[in-house]
Amino acid sequence: MISTFEATPNIALIKYWGKRDSRLMLPQNGSISITLDNSVRTVTSVLFSGRLKADAAWINGKKAEGKELQRLLVPVDLVREKAGIKDRVAIASENNFPTAAGIASSASGFAALACAASDAAGLKLGAAELSVLARMGSGSACRSVLGGFVEWKKGERGDGADSAAEQIAPASHWGLCDLIAVCESREKKVSSRAGMEQTVKTSGLYAKRMADLPARIAKLRQAILIKDSQTVFSIAMEDSMSMHATMLDTKPPIMYLNDVSREAIYAVNELNEGEGRLACGYTFDAGPNAHLLCEEKDIGLVKKHVSRIEGIEKFYDCGIGDGPKKLKEGEGLLTEDGKPS
Ligand code: PMV
């Protein structure tokens, strides 16, 4: 049976940057994100079949080979083990936004893959188990298996079973917007996997960040629950800059922001100064694209203000989404014989 799921990226307001176990993908710290609606999305179809000769995957129409394929097979192998099946797999996945440029395509991709693969294998998994499967592909993906406001609990267990996402509040709790300003849509030079490993090894600032995080996480969780936009935006900006500071402090330094990203930061500061409140916040992942956060009532104001920034290639106007969704047969990306359709 072919199973097809849609999943969406999430944007972290408190970031994950650093692992304590790279094989099990266990993070150094907890993190908090919002799952985006399907203005940006990945659709993934999975088929397990005894008739397939080899495992195969197509990402945005291109056949995945070598390391790329091996990475996709990590959660798939876990699904095969759980379901007790040995069938080969066919995977087809497509994004409607630029891949690997700071819009967390790996998060939506691995969340969709975890859901589609477990469903195609006939498994009925709960959110925590799906979250762990997605985490094994890409850490931040574990948060995209849930909608709304999501916390990835760092976990304590050695086997990682408790390092999974939990929902703080559903999407309907609060209408926040993430206006994504694409400041450059090229693929990034340093992968987050390699970059975070180097930061943990070489940044002196990293220990300070780790010491600050437990209190920051507790404060953000509470601010979300009471819909305190001023605290949410100020923590998001503070945490993004704290993560990028440890990147800059990495030897050799890692620099994901570019001149257009910096212009976006200045524009937000100017807007907030003029308004006398935080009408907008910003956060940046491992890429130059600005995620501009605001309440629904302020989206017009924010759009008008940032549309003047030169060099922004495109905007994606996202709200908060409900998480992965199973699609109908006709919306799949594979044929019955496991080829891209
Ligand atoms: O996408 P990953 O799991 O390799 O990690 C990326 C982490 C950031 O996007 C930079 C921050 C986060 O928490 O999403």
199 lines ligand 1 (CB under 6 A): no
pLDDT band at 96 (very low <50, low <70, confident <90, very high): confident
pLDDT exceeds 90 at position 101 = no
139 lines ligand 1 (CB under 6 A): yes
Measured at the CA of 79, the angle between CA 171 and CA 21, to 5 degrees, comes to 75
pLDDT for 99 equals 62
100 lines ligand 1 (CB under 6 A): no
pLDDT for 184 equals 83
How much is the mean pLDDT over the chain? 95
pLDDT for 102 equals 55
Ligand 1 center–CA 16 separation, angstroms: 6
Which of 140, 180, 243 for a ligand 1 pocket mutation test, highest count of atoms within 8 Å of Cβ? 140
What sign has the CA pseudo-torsion 105, 139, 30, 242?
A: negative
pLDDT for 104 equals 66
106 lines ligand 1 (CB under 6 A): yes
What digits encode the pLDDT tens for the residues 13-53?
Answer: 999 999 999 999 999 999 999 999 999 999 999 999 999 99
- Closest ligand 1 atom to residue 15 Cα is 13
How large is the average pLDDT for residues 215-244?
Answer: 98
pLDDT exceeds 90 at position 4 = yes
pLDDT exceeds 60 at position 100 = no
Three-state DSSP state, 150: strand
% of the chain surpassing 70 pLDDT: 97
How large is the average pLDDT for residues 117-132?
Answer: 98
Ligand 1 center–CA 217 separation, angstroms: 16
Q: What's the alpha-carbon Rg for the chain, to the nearest Å?
A: 19
12 lines ligand 1 (CB under 6 A): yes
Contact criterion met (CB below 8 Å) for 90 and 57: yes
- Closest ligand 1 atom to residue 11 Cα is 14
pLDDT band at 97 (very low <50, low <70, confident <90, very high): confident
108 lines ligand 1 (CB under 6 A): no
Of 17 and 105, the one with more pLDDT: 17
How large is the average pLDDT for residues 80-106?
Answer: 85
Helix axes 66-83, 127-135, angle to 10 degrees: 150
Ligand 1 center–CA 54 separation, angstroms: 31
- Closest ligand 1 atom to residue 14 Cα is 13
How large is the average pLDDT for residues 84-89?
Answer: 98
What is the pTM (predicted TM-score) of this model?
0.96
Q: Residue 293: in which H helix or E strand, if any? A: strand 290-295
284 lines ligand 1 (CB under 6 A): no
pLDDT band at 313 (very low <50, low <70, confident <90, very high): confident
DSSP string, 3-34: EEEEE--EEEEE----EEETTTTEESS-EEEE
- Closest ligand 1 atom to residue 139 Cα is 3
Tokens of 228: 């305190």
Q: Helix, strand, coil shares of the chain as percentages rounded to 5? A: 40, 25, 40
- Closest ligand 1 atom to residue 102 Cα is 9
